[in-house]
Structure formats: C-alpha cells, structure tokens
Structure 1
C-alpha cells in the first residue's frame, strides 16, 4: 500500500495517542470524519497499523531492573533453538527477544522487580535451559531513549509516500 502525506500524519498522531477520537484525528489531519475513518481502516487492513496497545510504566509497578541479556547456545544440543524459543515464551520477565548477529545467538530484554528477582530468573530459568552455554548481562543504569514510535522520515522508505 502506498501512503501519502495525510496517511503519514494520521500514523504520527495515532502513535502519539492511540485513543484519539476519530473526530479529533480528522480535525488534526484536515479531513472529514468519514474520510479519516476510511483511511484509518485501510491502514489497519494493510497491516501498517498492527494493533493498539497501552504502554505501561514498568517502574510504576515496581519493576526496577531493566536488563539486556546476550545468550549463547551450545550447538551440539539437539533442537537447541526450538527448545530455547519455546521456553522463553513462558518467562514473563522476558519482554523482548531477538535473534542477533555476532557471538551470541539471542538478545533478551528482561524486566525484574529487583536484583534478587533478576538473579533468580537467570539461575533458575535461563541457566537451567538445555543448551545455554553463556549469558552476558547488561543492567540498564539510565534510559536515554525508549520508544516504540516510528518517525515519519523512517516511514517514507520502501512503503512509499506519495505527494
């Protein structure tokens, strides 16, 4: 789907406030409410809008430890990838998981209440997973930028923006 400057503005506003009313959204992008709703539905149907969520403040819930963990696997263990990816689905502490390049196989983002909780996660879950060879933890000391928003200039890439 090709998007134009109006679609781009709709996407930007929705990323800032996913609960904005269609009326307010239409006013902000200078469309009639019906035309605005048609465009939003087309963006949803195309998959450009994947879903609407509420972003929670982890620290407000007492999750004080934020860490990035590189996990290196032993390749001589049968089904190491399938077993690891299945196990991490059941770990609520893992809020993000990625297959990465480099020495490690995976990068996990882990949230925990405190260092004791984090230590328990590493020792009782992560290290006990068959095939885990090495774990390298990086504890976040201060967050400088943490966003799920995609900047308009990034959105103008391969999807294409007309006008």
Structure 2
C-alpha cells in the first residue's frame, strides 16, 4: 500500500487527534487555524482515505488490575499442516494477548500479553499457549518497567524526509 500524501495541516490534525481523540471539531479547528467546516471536511477525507482507522480510549492497565506484562517469543514446529493458520486462530481467542506479531529471527511470533498477576500468566501459558497445536518453544520476557509506550504514528516523519 502506498503512503498517502499529507500536507502540514493534515499532519497537525492527526497529531492533535492522536493525543486528544475526544477534542471537538470546533476546538480542533481553532487549534490548527482552520474554519470548523474546512476542518471537518479534511477530517472526513482522512477517515475516508483510511488514514484514521478508528477512535478509541486508552485504558490504564494497572487501574484495571493488570500487574504483569510480558513479551513472549513463540517458536513453532513446521511439520504440521496449516500450523500458522491454526495458531493465528487460537491467539485471536485469547484476551490476554493484546498484540501478536510474526517476526524474523529465532522465533516465529512475539506476543504481548497482559495478566493480572504471575498466577494468571502461568495459567495462560500452561493451559492455553502450551496446548496450542504446533507450539515447540516459549520464551517469556516479563516487563519490569515501561520507559516509553506510544500507540501513535510519528506523523511528521514522511518517507521523503527519511531520504
């Protein structure tokens, strides 16, 4: 998919929205120095182009009782038919898995897992992850401290600026 060309105003809109998703159109227009109607037109165009996929709230995992976060490397046996599809289907059913990535390197997947505590995490690994068809090896990295976490996209970095 080719990147959509954004001008400086589009970038300002996206930057504000990534930090303040509930901002009113009137406040957004004022912040980026556009009329409310022009701001709304641009916003709708960004939505229609798929640049803005959805709006959501960021929740505090600790306030909701999730005290343990882990990045889990999973290696699979390749001798089973459709091993990737079966594993992908299984992990979509596990609410503890909040991120899943196919990666290069020694493992096939990296999962981001949230659990209430060590017992919850242990139960997840033993009763779900190890029982998934084709799983050969699991390596857990428990997060001790988060130094940076941002789900946003660095809007100001354009492919042209990287060259």
Q: Report the TM-score range of the alignment, normalised by the length of the smaller protein.
A: over 0.9
Stretches of 4+ aligned residues off by more than 4 angstroms: none
1:17 pairs with 2:20: yes
122, 127, 130: which one pairs with 1:124?
A: 127
Which one is further off, 143-152 or 127-136? 143-152
133, 148, 151: which one pairs with 1:148?
A: 151
Describe the superposition over 1:38-72 as per-residue Cα deviations: whole angstroms up to 9, x where unpaired.
Answer: 00000010111111000111111010000000000
Question: Deviation of residue 144 (structure 1)?
Answer: 0.2
CA distance in 2 between counterparts of 1:63 and 1:6 reads 38
Residue equivalent to 2:159: 157
Residue equivalent to 2:141: 138
Residue equivalent to 2:94: 91
Question: Deviation of residue 95 (structure 1)?
Answer: 0.1
54, 71, 87: which one pairs with 2:57?
A: 54
| SS of equivalent to 1:152 | coil
Question: Deviation of residue 157 (structure 1)?
Answer: 2.2
TM-score by length of 2: 0.94
Question: Deviation of residue 2 (structure 1)?
Answer: 2.2
Question: Deviation of residue 130 (structure 1)?
Answer: 1.1
Q: Name stretches of at least 5 consecutive residues in structure 1 with no aligned partner.
A: none
The number of equivalent residue pairs is 158
TM-score by length of 1: 0.94
Contact preservation (8 Å) 2:97, 2:113: yes
Question: In the TM superposition, what are the counterparts of 1:11-90 in structure 2 within 5 Å?
Answer: 11-90=14-93
Give the alignment's Cα RMSD to 1 decimal.
1.2
1:115 pairs with 2:118: yes
